[in-house]
Amino acid sequence: MKKVLGIDIGGTNTRVAIVNDHFQIEQCVIKPTICNDKEKFMANIVSAIKELNLDDVLAIGAGVPGVVDREKGIILDLPNVHVKDIPFAEILKQETGLDTFLRNDAEVACLAEAYAPKFKKYSRVFFITISTGLGGALCVDKTIQDYVTEVGHTVSKFDDYYEEFSIVAGSRFSVFASHLNEPDLTPKIMFEKTRQNIKKYQQFTDKWIEILNKFVRLMIDSYHPEIIVFTGGFMKDKDVFFKQVKQANKDVKIKETYFKTNAGLIGAGLYALKSLDMEK
Tens of pLDDT along 241-266? 999 999 999 999 999 999 998 999 99
Specify the DSSP class assigned to residue 235.
Answer: G
Contact 129, 135 (CB under 8 A): yes
Q: What CATH architecture applies to the domain 3-104+261-279?
A: 2-Layer Sandwich (3.30)
Spatial separation of the C-alpha atoms in residues 245 and 210, rounded to whole Å: 9
Average pLDDT over residues 212-218: 97
pTM: 0.92
CATH topology classification for 118-257: Nucleotidyltransferase; domain 5 (3.30.420)
Contacts for 265 with CB less than 8 Å, ≥ 6 apart: 6, 7, 8, 15, 17, 19, 25, 28
* Per-domain boundaries in the chain: 3-104+261-279, 118-257
Picking from 7, 10, 30, 6, the residue whose alpha carbon sits closest to that of residue 20 is: 6
Average pLDDT over residues 143-155: 85
**What pLDDT score does 80 carry?**
86
Confidence band, pLDDT 50/70/90 cuts, at residue 184: very high
Alpha helix segments (H runs only) across 180-237: 187-195, 199-223
DSSP string, 70-130: TTTTEEEEETTTTEEEE-HHHHHHHHHS--EEEEEHHHHHHHHHHHSTTTTT-SEEEEEEE
Per-residue pLDDT reduced to its tens digit, 22-81: 999 999 999 999 999 999 999 999 999 999 999 999 999 999 998 999 999 999 999 889
pLDDT at 148 over 80: no
Spatial separation of the C-alpha atoms in residues 170 and 204, rounded to whole Å: 15
Pairing mode of beta strands 67-69, 74-78: antiparallel
Per-residue pLDDT reduced to its tens digit, 84-137: 999 999 999 999 999 999 999 999 999 999 999 999 999 999 999 999 889 999
**What pLDDT score does 278 carry?**
77
Percent of the chain with pLDDT over 90: 92
Contact 183, 223 (CB under 8 A): no
Confidence band, pLDDT 50/70/90 cuts, at residue 211: very high
Specify the DSSP class assigned to residue 152.
Answer: G
> Same CATH fold, 118-257 and 3-104+261-279?
yes
